[in-house]
Amino acid sequence: MLHIYCPHCAETREEEEFRPKGEAHIARPLEPEATSDEDWGNYLFFRKNPRGLHHELWYHAAGCRKFFNVTRDTVSYQILETYKVGQKPSVTADKGAAK
């Protein structure tokens, strides 16, 4: 079981309280009505599924009910950091996992 730190509650809680919501940092098209069907479909349905570091959006369903981001290694399941939506991650794929 993962233990996840919620940056809003400032507490580490069990994984059962949270829900993963997919890839983080997905930019919504600025003008949806002017976006082609292909680009709109890509925005809605296509996500990265990397092996290694991945930035994910999570929801604290049984706690504060707020969204936040997680940087997680998809190979080891290790969570490297959590941070509020709108903040930038301190760990990126080019920096690699801190060991």
pTM (2 d.p.) = 0.84
Distance from C-alpha of 12 to C-alpha of 36, rounded to nearest angstrom: 42
Q: Tens digit of pLDDT for each residue in 43-79?
A: 999 988 889 999 999 999 999 999 999 999 999 999 9
Q: Tens digit of pLDDT for each residue in 86-95?
A: 999 998 865 5
pLDDT for 98 beyond 80 = no
> Domain segments of the chain: what residues?
3-26+37-84
Q: Tens digit of pLDDT for each residue in 9-51?
A: 999 999 999 999 999 999 899 999 999 999 999 999 998 888 9
Question: Phi and psi dihedrals of 77, rounded to 5?
Answer: 70, 5
Residues 6+ apart with CB under 8 A from 54: 23, 48, 71, 72, 73, 74
Contact present, 48 and 58 (Cβ < 8 Å): no
- 3-26+37-84 folds as Folate-binding fold (3.30.2270)
